[in-house]
Amino acid sequence: MKETINMKKQGSNKRALWKNIALIAVGGVVAIGLLSAFQSKGDGDLFLKIHRGIDVFGKVYREVAANYVDDVDPDRFMRAGIDGMLKTLDPYTVYLGEKESDEIDLVTSGKYGGIGVTIGLRDGIITVISPIEGFSAAKQGIQPGDRVIEVEGKNVKTMSLEDVRVLVRGAPGTTVHMKIDRDGEPKPLEFVFIREEIPVRNVSYAGFVEDGIGMVRLDRFSRTAGDDVRNAVKELKAKGTLRGLILDIRDNPGGLLDVAVDVVSKFVPESSLVVSTRGRRSDSERKYYSIEKPMAPDVPLAVLVDRGSASASEIVAGAIQDLDRGVIVGTRTFGKGLVQTITRLSENSSLKITSGRYYTPSGRSIQEIDYFHRTKDGVVTIKPDSLRQEYRTAHNRRVLEGGGIVPDSTVLEEPYSKLFEELNRKAMFFKYANQYAAQNKTLPANFEVTDAILKDFEKFLKEKEFSYQEESEIKLRELRQLADKSRYGKSFYEGLDKVSKSIDTEKERAFERYNKELSATLKVEIVSRIKGEKAGVEASFADDPQLKAAVSLLKNKPVYSVLLKGGSKK
């Protein structure tokens, strides 16, 4: 029986093998057709190298898949070969299988079929972060903090977050069965949800930070982002006089290039150059211009950025900076100045390939890492600031290439303590907020985290057996290990013991030392849970130094003008 099963498996593998070899052959024919263009241009050497490469790759694939000592899954082996080749390039050139292609469709279409719920990892468990109002999950009573046990009868304990998302999503109108574990419930709860068309939310907040100062928080650049920004600004203008506007693109990883151009078009003069792209060929340059009249041309503008602002976010920040339309506030952005295009390879697979670099209106590339000129050991390089080329904005202000977008006003965030990092990593703020919300259905308008709440939080952590190590404890342990190796004397260890006791004393007063950041985070979590996400965002304003700096600049017209003022052009 065992031998028969193996034979069936081998037969199946060989059928898959010959199917893939056929694909390679087809790919080779297509490549030869394309390569003839290279050859006709006198690039015969390149043609021969690619032709030999295809031939060798096909032979290695066939020999290993057919004759290796153990069974080889031809599809997985093919994927490994493709991934291996692409890893020699840059991290953005990738092969997209069926699962990844779904994510591309989500970004390009701006919607997906789902139940209207945001899930994430909390303490290593797939957990409901927030249900989206008006959709199946919220209507049927899913709550933040619910832990997902099963989806469609499949235990999700060992699944990745992405695999669970794929299981939950599907065609609108279809059903999905889920089993949920909830605090306070004696046994798991079972739900049957109806999938609906869920629009991707690009703007997570639009409102007034202070009198006359509006803010729009843009989280991503899916297909509808431009329309969402337009509607948000319209709402702000309808609610009151707009004397200043903040566009928050912190932690926005980017999206579609033409959508970034659409967003910039809401703020800069019509027909302004927003971005240009250039690829390998000399005739590949494309220029993108703003395509409409700006919505608030005379309203002072500040753009909030940080290290998590990348790609399309940097196109927006770079255009606003180079055209001197507004001030950039925060910290240096990620530095991704590469453009990707997606080519469909088959019904279920695509290739996302870096096809060019993009350049801001001043002509600078903001790409930080040079993936294309590695050291002999294969290590990528970063150009130091001293070697970066200088460019000029519309008002002749000095800006530099590479390394992302450097803010006009740099405002650093407070570094997180080890206690805060561990509380966040183990989802303790999240879990306590769920418990607090279960016990308190309403909050006063002027809610603040009191000493009593902090004490209750501390008690909660003890019940959950939360523990962590201070950085000083880690360093002390390393020092003790070095002392052991070096055979230090008794007096040295006595000194270490004294330091250890001092650390323990300081650790006991950790809540006192980090009172401000703990209170601020608890406040946002609790308010979000009881009053909703928008109220939670507003609760964070008081403890956001970058936002405060942006508001201050917009209210101080002389300082704002000086930041955007350049020198005379020679």
Query: What pLDDT, in 10s, does the model give residues 437-461?
Result: 989 989 998 999 999 999 999 999 9
Q: What is the mean predicted confidence (pLDDT) over 236-260? A: 94
Q: What is the 3-state secondary structure (H, E, C) of 397-414?
A: CEEECCCCCCCCEECCCC
Two tokens at 352? 């996302």
What's the CA gap between 558 and 264, in Å, rounded?
25
pLDDT given at position 8: 38
Distance CA 327, CA 406 (A): 11
What is the structure's pLDDT at 166? 85
Q: What pLDDT score does 378 carry?
A: 72
Q: Tell me if residue 202 falls in helix, strand or coil.
A: coil
The number of beta carbons lying within 10 Å of the beta carbon of residue 513 is 13
| pLDDT band, residue 99 (cuts 50/70/90) | low
For residue 354, what are its two tokens? 């870096």
Percent of the chain with pLDDT over 90: 65
Residues 186-242 have pLDDT tens digits of: 899 999 999 998 888 899 999 999 999 999 999 999 989 999 999 999 999 999 899
pLDDT at 466: 93
Q: How confident is the model at residue 569 (pLDDT cuts 50, 70, 90)?
A: low
Please compute the mean of the pLDDT values over residues 143-159 and round it to a whole number. Answer: 91
Q: Give me the pLDDT at residue 349, please.
A: 86
| 6-20, 123-137, 148-162, 398-412, range with greatest mean pLDDT | 398-412
Is 71:9 a contact under the CB 8 Å cutoff? yes
Task: Using the CB atoms, write b or e for 343-382: b if 16+ within 10 Å.
Answer: eeeeeebbbbbbbbebbbbbebbbbbbebeeeeeeeeeee
Q: Which residues contact 500 (CB under 8 A, 6 or more apart)?
A: 476
Please report which confidence band the pLDDT of residue 101 belongs to, taking 50, 70 and 90 as the band edges: low
pLDDT at residue number 186: 87
Beta-strand relationship, 349-359 and 154-155: unpaired
- Per-residue b or e along 534-558, where b marks 16 or more CB atoms closer than 10 Å to that residue's CB: eebbbbbeebbebbbbbbbbbbeee
Q: How many CA atoms lie within 13 A of 186 on its CB side?
A: 0
Residues in the chain: 570
Are 275 and 338 within 8 A, CB to CB? no
* Rounded Cα–Cα distance for residues 526 and 460 (Å): 15
Q: Which of 515, 505, 528, 508 is CA-nearest to residue 454?
A: 515
The model's confidence at residue 103, banded by pLDDT at 50, 70 and 90, is low
CA distance 303 to 501: 47
Point out the residues that are catalytic. Answer: 311, 322, 336
Residue 498 binned pLDDT confidence (cut-offs 50, 70, 90): very high
What 3-state class would DSSP assign to 33? helix
- Who's near 415: CB < 8 A, 6+ residues apart? none
Dump pLDDT digits (tens) for 118-148.
Answer: 888 887 899 998 888 888 898 888 988 899 9
Q: What pLDDT is attached to residue 283?
A: 86
- Assess whether pLDDT exceeds 70 at residue 2: no
pLDDT reported for residue 550: 98
Q: 401: pLDDT confidence band, cut at 50, 70 and 90?
A: very high
Say if residue 263's pLDDT is above 90: yes
Over 50: is that where the pLDDT of 31 sits? no
Where does 188-273 have alpha helices with state H?
225-239, 257-264
3-state secondary structure of 492: helix
Residues sharing a CB contact under 8 Å with residue 555, sequence separation 6 or more, in sequence order: 210, 213, 243, 244
Q: What percent of the chain has pLDDT over 70?
A: 90
Q: pLDDT for 158-179, tens place per residue?
A: 888 888 988 898 888 999 999 9
Q: How many CB atoms lie within 10 A of CB 413?
A: 13
pLDDT digits (tens, 9 = 90+) for 458-473: 999 999 999 999 999 9
How confident is the model at residue 394, as a pLDDT? 96
Instruction: Report pLDDT for 102.
Output: 65
Confidence band (pLDDT; 50, 70, 90) for 495? very high
Residues 287, 273: contact at Cβ < 8 Å?
yes
Q: Is the pTM of this model over 0.85?
A: no
CA nearest 449: which of 513, 521, 530, 509? Answer: 521
The backbone torsions φ and ψ at residue 155, rounded to the nearest 5 degrees and listed phi first, read: -70, 125
pLDDT of 42 above 80 = no
